[in-house]
């Protein structure tokens, strides 16, 4: 599995367990780390961590692990898709004298906004 696939798996796994992992959950995480292909900074960090954390991690260790995995995600994957883009169109005001297609559409039989 690639690092990105591990990150996706880890995200789903941590949502399922709700809290810090049990010894059984921790062994599943260790097995998944072993399935990461090639060398990656995240895999190397986990291998260093496994030297000192033999059983399920403490609350502080678990928080550090989750933080490290979330930092390893590509920036695009951390953003909610389309959320930032959807608000950009509302924040821009049209230039003076330029009608906005949504706000100033004249319907048949109606007068332009702001005119009597």
pLDDT in tens, 22-66: 889 988 988 998 898 888 888 888 888 888 777 888 888 888 888
List the domain range (segments joined by +) for residue 33: 3-78
Cα–Cα distance list, 72 to 40, 41, 75 (Å): 10, 9, 9
**Helices 23-34 and 3-17: angle between axes, nearest 10 degrees:** 170
The verdict on residue 114 lying in a domain is: no
pTM over 0.75: no
**Span 74-87, mean pLDDT?**
51
SS3 category, 21: coil
| Closest to 6 measured CA to CA, from 28, 27, 35 | 35
Q: What is the number of domains present in the chain? A: 1
Q: Judge whether 11 lies within some domain.
A: yes
CB-based contacts of 21: which residues, under 8 Å, 6+ apart? Answer: 28, 29, 56, 57, 62
Q: Is residue 110 part of a domain?
A: no
């Amino acid at each position: 599995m690639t690092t990105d696939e591990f990150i996706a798996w880890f995200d789903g796994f941590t949502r399922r367990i709700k809290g810090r992992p049990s010894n059984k959950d921790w062994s599943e995480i260790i097995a998944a780390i072993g399935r990461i292909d090639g060398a990656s900074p995240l895999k190397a960090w986990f291998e260093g961590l496994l030297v000192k954390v033999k059983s399920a991690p403490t609350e502080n260790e678990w928080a550090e692990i989750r933080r490290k995995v979330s930092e390893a995600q590509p920036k695009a994957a951390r953003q909610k898709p389309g959320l930032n883009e959807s608000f950009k169109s509302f924040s821009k005001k049209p230039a003076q004298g330029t009608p906005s297609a949504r706000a100033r559409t004249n319907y048949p039989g109606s007068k332009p906004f702001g005119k009597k």
